[in-house]
Structure 1
């Protein structure tokens, strides 16, 4: 019991406030019902509704700290904004930005504005926290060979072959990037009944040794299954757009981050893209963009990007095997039909399965595919990888299941308005248990004991226990924080 009978104040983060707004917009729940689910007072929900436009603007800006619970305005807001603008310009130009440099620039801006202001280390720490800023050294390009961007030239000229364009780059410095449309909860034979799709953006280098974190684009800004989840620690990047497609703005954001990472590593790399992509402005400093010529529809000829038929099929095979495994393992202990279990798969479930499937794609396969396209001297195993079909399915049935998005020619269009309403009602029913209470440290430790006991009773291999010990150690570390 709290002292003096006072309830402990429970503040919501920006991400949780966005979930509150989505829940109010998409369901018929009252503010009081939402308040009970988030364990806050009804007046707090009312204030969130009153500040809806400002909260959405902060969320979409990309600069706000989404896990921060309170936003205290600075006394010197004009200096805050001016310094943030200068910081973004410095990042774009790949300057080396340091703390002392920011303090000096803040003082210069204050003098220009005629304000009596002496920035301190404490002020800088709070400014970084308010604006979700982290900085390190932004190194300029240090390429051995000068990079001439192909952005203004469009697709690769017919007179130049890919090997000629990429001859100055080692295989580990040639990256390909492409998109995969995924019906993430579709089951065999029920393809036409499923509307939910995700766009998965994959990027890997020619030797298969560097797989960038996948970007998954969904329709919802903050799915309900994200309640209480720190999205920054997920193994994939989740973004949203109206039609679950990679928009030019989302691609530009990803490319800017990738360019900065290459600058930090003092590397100059080539990135091979489809012809439909457009060069962003400003152009990346550490990346040479190479656009492939347009490809006829259903053309399965070799391509250096991750959408090479063999690589995308390998990735999707691994994802859909995990989907079937999850559905059938749950079905073995319940009387629920596989279709009903699959419909309860959440976006968060799909993100973890995407990460696991992408991690299992073998470097030898990637290297061979890049080699076939002439981007590198691939030495990987030849012939497409073959995955045995799951139990109860023939090889042809599994192939059709893996290729269902291609065979259905799934259109990147929005479903009818009524379909959204029906989908939202379904999700509301599926997510009832998500908001009861978040798992506690005691719950996590108890689950570890249950899992270990299950391994012990089912004769698991020794390697499984080594992986379990690593997981157990991490959980115990987090519990001690």
Structure 2
């Protein structure tokens, strides 16, 4: 008796999958008929239709290997994307990029992200295959203008006859650098407390880009054991905002969505980006250097800072209630960069949509016949107890105070004074620690006699933690 041979799996390449989608869209063929034409099963065609948006995004990105049949995601996706961003920048500058150079850069990025990762030759080969990267002769970038033409403007985007009316309100984005003293309190403003925060949102408030925080510390201890994917905001180990990398990522994100958007930027920033390769989906609209109009409405920035300061005060008050005799300055010294990332992400999420809409219209940064009158209560969060409105307003604008010089606490490791291991790094929590913490938290809430709303939030958190413990 002849045994039945196992049916051989026929996988389609990305290019073939796009052909499948085009055939289904442009003809009246059924999925079964298309499956027979490509000699695959009908469920495989169904999966292609289900992943239509992702496949089209990969196809439009220009970086995907269109002949590759299967795409296996990297375990270290954050390093993968960061290295690809760096590679595109190096390619635009006509650098000679070699394999050893990429391996060294990947290790450097892993260290910055706090990940225990050692790139190998095999990993590099797979990375190149995933991202359709190939070496070869270096291509010199041709000059964008012929010698007969007049000298070009500072940036390609500045030459285009663009205006706000060329874009829908949903596709007009504003962004701003916000200096922030992340743990400073009145009377204690240290030079090491300063970080730069990059905020970006569209004029309808429906899209807020992920917060980016740039700080002095290359690898804060508080990041030990924390997955870069779990960080609530992006962190860059330098006070200068990494505009090239940030814009490249923004451009890729818009490309995946098939959108053309405008980004309002200060003229100074646009001048610094003169060497930036052309962006395919983001058009820069520089504001005049003489203009007083901000690239992100000042009321939006002020609301973000107010929510951040209120959250900081709440955290400091909790520390003081736990440790009797602790001053506000001492409590503030215990705030870490990781705490700041969480508070910045929470503060940005709390800036109301209505405020963003009305602020863009009032500043003339978005089309609108009349500005919507924002409620003053929505611009600023409730004033914390024990402070007057004037005192809280001064606290919100604490960046205006003169900082004092000193050594950063996290850099010298004064955390060792509060106990823990000799290297100042606390051991990572176990599953048992997490479950015990849930029990302690629930018991504490029960003893406080709070309402059902808090328990509803706790149940959601408890369920998610228990799910993670089972992985």
Q: Which TM bucket (shorter chain)?
A: 0.5 to 0.7
Counterpart Cα distance in 2 of 1:238 and 1:228: 15
Deviations 1:205-233 (A, max 9, x none): 00001001000001111101111110222
For residues 364 and 431 of structure 1, do their structure 2 counterparts lie closer, same or farther at Cα, with a shift above 3 Å needed?
farther
* 2:401 equivalent in structure 1: 408
Residue pair 1:259, 1:285 contacting (<8 A) in 2 also: yes
Q: Does 1:376 align with 2:367?
A: yes
Indicate the residue corresponding to 2:209 in structure 1: 212
The CA distance in 1 between the partners of 2:410 and 2:109, in whole Å, is 28
The farther-off stretch of 271-280 and 344-353 is 271-280
* 1:272 and 2:264 correspond: yes
Aligned equivalents of 2:451, 2:117: Cα separation in 1: 44
User: 1:170 is matched with which residue?
Assistant: 168
- Say if 1:472 and 1:465 are closer, same or farther in 2 by CA, change over 3 A: same
2:335 paired residue number: 345
Secondary structure of 2:435's partner?
helix
C-alpha displacement of 1:70: 4.3
Q: Give per-residue Cα distances to partners, 1:113-134, cap 9 Å, x unaligned.
A: xxxxxxxxxxxxxxxxxxxxxx
What secondary structure is seen at the aligned counterpart in 2 of 1:289?
strand
1:356-395 superposed matches below 5 A: 356-374=346-364, 375-377=366-368, 380-382=372-374, 384=376, 385-395=379-389
By how many angstroms is 1:236 displaced? 0.4
1:63, CA displacement in angstroms? 11
- Unmatched runs of 5 consecutive residues or more in structure 1: 1-12, 16-52, 88-98, 113-148
1:477 aligns to what? 467
> Pairwise mapping of residues 287-306 of structure 1 onto structure 2 (< 5 A)?
287-295=282-290, 302-303=293-294, 305-306=295-296
Counterparts of 2:418 and 2:178, CA distance in 1: 27
Decide whether aligned partners of structure 1 residues 451 and 376 sit closer, same or farther in structure 2, where only a CA change above 3 A counts.
farther
Is 1:446 aligned to residue 439 of structure 2?
no
Question: Which residue matches 1:73?
Answer: 121
Shift, 1:234, TM fit: 1.1
Cα distance between partner residues in 1 of 2:438 and 2:387: 34
- Tell me, yes or no, if the aligned pair for 1:156 and 1:292 is still in contact at 8 Å: no
User: Are 1:215 and 1:237, in contact at CA under 8 Å, matched by a contact in 2?
Assistant: yes
Alignment length, in residue pairs? Answer: 348
2:169–2:367: 8 Å Cα contact kept in structure 1?
A: yes
Aligned with 2:298 (options 309, 322, 338): 309
Q: Which has the larger radius of gyration?
A: 2
Structure 2 equivalent of residue 50 of structure 1: none
- The residue aligned with 2:446 is 456
Over 3 Å counting, the alpha-carbon distance change for 1:379 and 1:467 in structure 2 is farther
CA distance in 1, matches of 2:113, 2:182: 29
In the alignment, structure 1 residue 397 sits paired with structure 2 residue 398 = no
- Could you tell me which residue of structure 2 aligns to residue 262 of structure 1? 254
Task: Give, in whole Å, the separation in 2 of the partners of 1:344 and 1:175.
Answer: 35
CA distance in 1, matches of 2:418, 2:172: 42
Give the match for residue 228 of structure 1: 225
Q: Distance in 2 between matches of 1:65 and 1:353?
A: 20
With 225-234 and 466-475 compared, the bigger mean Cα shift is at 466-475
Asked if structure 2 preserves the Cα contact closer than 8 Å seen for 1:185 and 1:342, the reply is: yes
232, 237, 241: which is aligned to 1:240?
237
Q: Report the secondary structure of 2:289's partner residue.
A: coil
The runs of 5 or more residues in structure 2 that have no matched partner are 1-75, 79-100, 138-151
Cα distance change on mapping 1:200 and 1:265 into 2, 3 Å: same
Alpha-carbon contact 1:330-1:341 (below 8 Å) kept: yes
Q: In 2, are the aligned partners of 1:364 and 1:381 still within 8 Å (CA)?
A: no
| Secondary structure of 2:314's aligned partner | helix
> Which of the numbers 186, 189, 196 marks the counterpart of 1:188?
186
Q: 1:170 to 1:368 in 2, by over 3 A?
A: same
Q: Distance in 1 between matches of 2:466 and 2:104?
A: 36
Contact 2:107 2:118 (C-alpha < 8 Å) held by counterparts: no
**1:171 CA displacement:** 1.0
Q: Equivalent residues in 2 for 1:319-330 (5 A)? A: 319-330=308-319
1:446 is paired with a residue whose SS is helix
- CA positional deviation for 1:251: 0.9
Shift of 1:364: 0.4
Corresponding residue SS for 1:210: coil
Report if aligned partners of 1:344, 1:430 keep a CA contact under 8 Å in 2. no
Q: RMSD across aligned C-alpha pairs, in angstroms?
A: 3.6
Answer whether contact 2:212 2:235 (CA < 8 A) is retained.
Answer: yes
Q: Cα gap change, 1:356/1:423 in structure 2, threshold over 3 Å: closer, same or farther? A: closer
